[in-house]
Structure 1
Amino acid sequence: MKIGIITFHKVNNYGAVLQAYALQKTIKSLGCDCDIIDYSRKNLRDIFLWQKNKVKCLLKGAPDRQGYSNLEFIRMVLTTIFFNKKAVAVKFNTFRNRYDLSRPVNSDTVKYINNEYDLFLSGSDQVWNCGRVILDKNYLLDFVEERKKKGSYAASFGIKEIPDKYLAEYKRLLTDFRYLSVRETAGADLINELIHREAKVVLDPTLLLRKEEWAELVDVKANNEDVIIVYMLEYSESLLRFARELSEKVNCPIRLLNKPLHRNVKEDCRVDVGPVEWLSEIQNGKYIVTNSFHGVAFSINFNRNFYVEIAEERIRGAMSSRIEHILHTFGLEDRLIRRKKYGNSKRNYIKFNYCSADIDYIKVNRKLEKLRDESVDYLSNMLYVKDGETMINSQEYKKKIG
């Protein structure tokens, strides 16, 4: 049995590359050959232009410059965005050498690999998100000719509702899937609304691997540090203010895993963190403060005390459902940072309400193990041999990986 995964494996994003690695590793552990389809999106140029426009907005936006002159700010942008990102890109490419890849394909040639795989899987990550650029139907397996070869694992829409202009396409393409699984209940609800089918909600692939398996990738053994790790997918002043308040309370220094373009950030910033180093930081931090889904997922897997902020109301529909879902799944809603504003000015006083107790990971790990078994069983049930029997169940899988 040979499986082809189509996902965002080329994006220099920690969650994206780690979930791709985890899904491929799990499928191979289940006894199948597996490639990640080395697909280059046709809209990469659109993404480049979006990044270029983002830089232009930064250069124009006085609030983002916080007192820098044009020359100072340009120098900071070049250093932080371009030079440091080049060093990080090398580390991402090195990590991607762990993948087994198909031959390179693009939007015109991906159809020619139809006969090279017995099953194609779309996922995980926000492969069905049409909100940021344009809908790429290949992530909905439009290039696959046979319905029996179409499946998804922990796919995510990343949007609250489908734009009207794409409704017909989503209905047509999702109807053609033989197996449908998603990462969040919001995705299952959306599928039910679109095509009146039940989709299985499964774990993000990063949670299919145990913390010991992730630790094997880290160069050094676990060395817990009394440090607060702050990982922001998008810069949040309130999240940093919370981390500073927590730092004073628990007497721990702060370490940021990226360098925001803001003058008031004086804490230790790691600007060249690759995927393996990122894993090590999350594994060893005493506290994790984040607004990232995968920041939460790895905190749970590594049994770290964490706090998470959900994005502002203007982007909640696109981003918050996945964080809310994982918190609810593990009964960790109290790790959400709640804030109350006082005053009317932009620099108003914010009071944070949060749980100061340590997380009861005995209870969480019991739940994680149960969901891991269910997700592995679901994945295994998609991987049929010719006589129609499943390859391996979760109990056999546990024995195999030790």
Structure 2
Amino acid sequence: MKKVAVVVCPNIRNFGSVLQSYATQKAVARLGYDNEYIKYVKTKKTAYKYLIQLLIPSIMAERWSFVKRKLFQRKHKDFISRRNKAFDRFVEKYMTASTKYVGYDALRRAAGKYDMAVLGSDQVWNPINSGSDFYTLNWLNDSTKRVAYAPSFGVSEVPSLLRGHYKKFLSKFDHISVREKRGQVIVDDLIGKKVPVVCDPTLLFKSEDWDDILPEKPVAEGKYIFCYFLGNRKEPRECVLKLAKKTGLPIVMMPFFGEISELDNKLNAKFVDDPDPSHFVSAIKNAEYVCTDSYHGTVFSIIYHKRVLVFRRHSADSSKNTFSRLESLLSIAGMKDRVVNDVWEDRFLTDTINYDEVTANIDKLRNYSWNYLSDSLKN
């Protein structure tokens, strides 16, 4: 039997991307399929595929954010290099890779090695990724079975200039599931297909499964508040300071190097040195409180039954508002009351989370998702 190609993004060095990549491969393996993730490196020869993005303002705005991030990383190249190496060691230790395919031609030549492909989660169908033509699976042979497990579009609608492109590659998939309800609407609108919402691959596994990757030592001793923000807004950080003052607990942070916030330096927090994804999971498991605007920060807080406070990455009226996927998750879990609307409320000190009810809700989605993935791979 040929191998299954697992198409994920462990090369994107943020905690959520790597952990969902690991979980996707682990899930396919647990169901009994020999698989490897596709280790693909783009070359400049495919740059022309991005030209249409010059005509799409929303994508170009994201590209500018990417440029600013690269400039920051260049300024702090020694620190970024250490962090990247830590991530790469995690991927090498816990994931099984294909041969490295350099360039799109090499990728297409390798397609015959696989008779099935599983596209993983994260925002792989975000329009900003359209130019690579990797997550579309267009590089595979037409006869290769295609399964999409919990991908996200990351936007409320596909730009009109890309609708034809999306219709073409989506129509080639044998099975499609999505991570959010908005994704259901987009797929139905584009190809007239009703698709299910399944859980993020990280939620397929319970706490005892995630304990297998924990580092030998915890990231901090004693009780603490773990803080992980993707956004750079001041209101969430002001609420964290009030929580720290009222509880007397220290703050532990892992800063995100996308939208840099100088406000993090005012929290008097302990910054974890060169953390990899296992340290991220450990930090959440051992925290008293978790404060985050991150999807996967919230996911692991649910898995480990933490007192979590969920913030918006962008203001509610922002054109960049990406809160729908978190709202969807919290709604399914029965935890919509854990959202902090930028103003501190003392109820977060006293309110309890009924994790028996939350676990029942998540187990229902988890079991459905396992059955969907199993059936999709078989049929």
Same fold (TM over 0.5): yes
User: What per-residue deviation string (whole Å, max 9, x for no partner) do you get for residues 265-310 of structure 1?
Assistant: 4322225221111111011011000010000001101111101111
Counterpart contact for 1:335–1:354, Cα < 8 Å: no
Shift >6 Å, 4+ stretches: 43-49, 221-224
CA distance in 2, matches of 1:240, 1:246: 10
AA aligned opposite 1:36: Y
Residue matched to 1:296: 298
SS in 1 for 2:97: coil
AA aligned opposite 1:309: F
CA distance in 1, matches of 2:198, 2:155: 18
AA aligned opposite 1:4: A
Residue matched to 1:141: 137
**Residue correspondences, number:** 354
Structure 2 residue 315 is matched with structure 1 residue 312: yes
Within-5 A mapping of 1:160-175? 160-175=156-171
Residue matched to 2:363: 369
CA distance in 1, matches of 2:165, 2:148: 17
Counterpart contact for 1:225–1:286, Cα < 8 Å: no
Residue matched to 1:71: none
Residue matched to 1:255: 252
Structure 2 residue 89 is matched with structure 1 residue 82: no
In the TM superposition, what is the alpha-carbon distance from 1:318 to its structure 2 partner?
5.2
Counterpart contact for 1:150–1:177, Cα < 8 Å: yes
SS in 2 for 1:139: coil
User: What per-residue deviation string (whole Å, max 9, x for no partner) do you get for residues 86-130 of structure 1?
Assistant: 111111010011211111123222112222112112221110001
CA distance in 2, matches of 1:247, 1:314: 28
Structure 2 residue 376 is matched with structure 1 residue 338: no
CA distance in 2, matches of 1:90, 1:25: 22
In the TM superposition, what is the alpha-carbon distance from 1:31 to its structure 2 partner?
0.7
Within-5 A mapping of 1:206-217? 206-217=202-213
In the TM superposition, what is the alpha-carbon distance from 1:254 to its structure 2 partner?
1.3
SS in 2 for 1:182: coil
RMSD of equivalent CA atoms = 2.7
In the TM superposition, what is the alpha-carbon distance from 1:151 to its structure 2 partner?
1.4
After superposition, the Cα gap between the structure-2 partners of 1:190 and 1:108, relative to the gap in structure 1 and judged at 3 Å, is same
SS in 2 for 1:241: helix
* Identical positions, percent: 28
AA aligned opposite 1:204: D
User: What per-residue deviation string (whole Å, max 9, x for no partner) do you get for residues 335-361 of structure 1?
Assistant: 10113xxxxxxxxxx555864412111
After superposition, the Cα gap between the structure-2 partners of 1:14 and 1:315, relative to the gap in structure 1 and judged at 3 Å, is farther
CA distance in 1, matches of 2:233, 2:34: 42
After superposition, the Cα gap between the structure-2 partners of 1:371 and 1:103, relative to the gap in structure 1 and judged at 3 Å, is same
Structure 1, 41-50 or 267-276: larger mean CA deviation? 41-50
CA distance in 2, matches of 1:316, 1:270: 32
TM-score with structure 1 setting the length:
0.81
Counterpart contact for 1:144–1:150, Cα < 8 Å: no
After superposition, the Cα gap between the structure-2 partners of 1:3 and 1:55, relative to the gap in structure 1 and judged at 3 Å, is closer
Structure 2 residue 13 is matched with structure 1 residue 22: no
In the TM superposition, what is the alpha-carbon distance from 1:326 to its structure 2 partner?
0.4
SS in 2 for 1:201: coil
AA aligned opposite 2:294: S
In the TM superposition, what is the alpha-carbon distance from 1:136 to its structure 2 partner?
2.7
Residue matched to 2:59: none
Q: Out of 195, 200, 204, which is 2:196 matched to?
A: 200
Larger Rg: 1
Counterpart contact for 1:114–1:145, Cα < 8 Å: yes
Residue matched to 1:111: 108
SS in 1 for 2:215: coil
CA distance in 1, matches of 2:42, 2:185: 28
Counterpart contact for 2:15–2:280, Cα < 8 Å: yes
**Stretches of structure 2 lacking an aligned partner (at least 5 in a row):** 51-61
CA distance in 1, matches of 2:318, 2:130: 18
Within-5 A mapping of 1:1-400? 2-42=3-43, 51-54=66-69, 78=75, 81-97=76-92, 98-105=94-101, 106-131=103-128, 134-146=130-142, 149-220=145-216, 225-258=222-255, 260-262=261-263, 264-310=266-312, 311-313=314-316, 315=318, 319-339=322-342, 352=345, 355-356=348-349, 357-384=351-378
After superposition, the Cα gap between the structure-2 partners of 1:136 and 1:352, relative to the gap in structure 1 and judged at 3 Å, is farther
Structure 1, 45-54 or 352-361: larger mean CA deviation? 45-54
CA distance in 2, matches of 1:351, 1:206: 30
TM-score with structure 2 setting the length:
0.86
SS in 2 for 1:96: helix
SS in 1 for 2:32: coil
CA distance in 2, matches of 1:83, 1:210: 36
SS in 1 for 2:213: coil
User: What per-residue deviation string (whole Å, max 9, x for no partner) do you get for residues 28-70 of structure 1?
Assistant: 11111011111224589999986443466x7xxxxxxxxxxxx
CA distance in 1, matches of 2:224, 2:344: 23
